[in-house]
Amino acid sequence: MTGQHIRREAVSDQVYAALRDRILGGALAAGDALTPERDLAAEFGVNRHAVREAVKRLQQARLVEVSHGGRTAVLDWRLTAGLDLAVGIVGADAGLTVDGLTRDALEMRACIGADAARLCALRCTPAAAARIVAAAGCYTQAGPDLAALGAADVAWWRLIVEGSGNLAYLLSFNTLVSGALPMADVPMDLRTAELLDVDAHVRLAAHIAGREPEAAERLARTLLSRSVPAAADRAVR
């Protein structure tokens, strides 16, 4: 490895990012021993405390495992890492791109959204269903303003995901809209057809309120899948 000195601000974050990218890019393979703290500190020109903090973050991200004997081994991140790592994958030399991850995030969104709509139709309270029906009117009120439609869309789908009663779906939804994935910055031209289809959103709300889980799932999948082909095209260019 070549020396890579680190800027003095947020040094532990920078060391973490550099080591993370080596793991994700394959320079450090699964089963490899992580370079000792002393050597990493010398390589990056930082103190050992910064290295120790960076290694702790790698451990929390399930990129490395620290044994009782003190050996730190690299893990196979494809088997151990969580969704919160996705933003880091894009920055690594791992053959992945923002466009590719955007496509993946949109596909995940369609799957989760479709099943969340199904579960919401089965589980949500009458009061929650009424809120979902009322909130569908936001698509009409926002008009052609895509930024306003995007904000209304997040609020509306949050009601549906909360109504599904599935905590794992809710946490995944939070990740998708928080900025941890490029999904949060999807160009609006990819989602125009979806956002402007007021009728589909109104009908989906009606399926949920009418306790029609299969119809809700089909329509939600169709609606949320509209953005996927364009994103897939960008990913392969």
Burial per residue of 124-163, b for 16 or more beta-carbon CB atoms within 10 angstroms, e otherwise? beeebbebbbebbebbeebeeebeebbebbeebbebbbbb
User: What 3-state class would DSSP assign to 186?
Assistant: coil
Domain boundary among 30, 63, 91: 91
* Same domain, yes or no: 16 and 43: yes
Q: Exposed, middle or buried by CB within 10 Å (0-12, 13-18, 19+), for 199?
A: exposed
One domain, residues 87 and 102: no
State residue 137's pLDDT score: 86
Do 182 and 222 reside in the same domain of the chain?
Answer: yes
Expressed as residue numbers, the domain containing 111 is 98-236
Q: What is the pTM of this model?
A: 0.74
Domain boundary among 62, 91, 120: 91
Write the DSSP symbol of residue 85: G
3-state DSSP call for residue 217? helix
**55: buried, middle or exposed (CB in 10 Å: 19+, 13-18, 0-12)?**
buried
**What's the pLDDT score for residue 118?**
98
Q: CA-CA distances (angstroms) from residue 223 to 64, 74, 103, 107, 149?
A: 39, 41, 15, 12, 15
135 and 155 in contact (C-beta within 8 Å)?
yes
| Claim to verify: residue 218 and residue 178 sit in the same structural domain | yes
7-35 per-position pLDDT tens digit: 545 899 899 989 998 998 889 999 999 99
Number of domains making up the chain: 2
Instruction: Give the model's confidence band at 146: pLDDT under 50 very low, under 70 low, under 90 confident, else very high.
Output: confident
Most confident of 56-65, 90-99, 181-190: 56-65
- Max distance between CA atoms of the chain, in angstroms, equals 65
Q: What is the domain-level CATH number for residue 195?
A: 1.20.120.530
The full length of the chain comes to 237
Query: Mean pLDDT throughout 225-234?
Result: 74
Give the model's pLDDT for residue 1: 47
pLDDT at 99: 60
Q: How confident is the model at residue 93 (pLDDT cuts 50, 70, 90)?
A: low
Structure confidence at residue 223 (pLDDT): 94
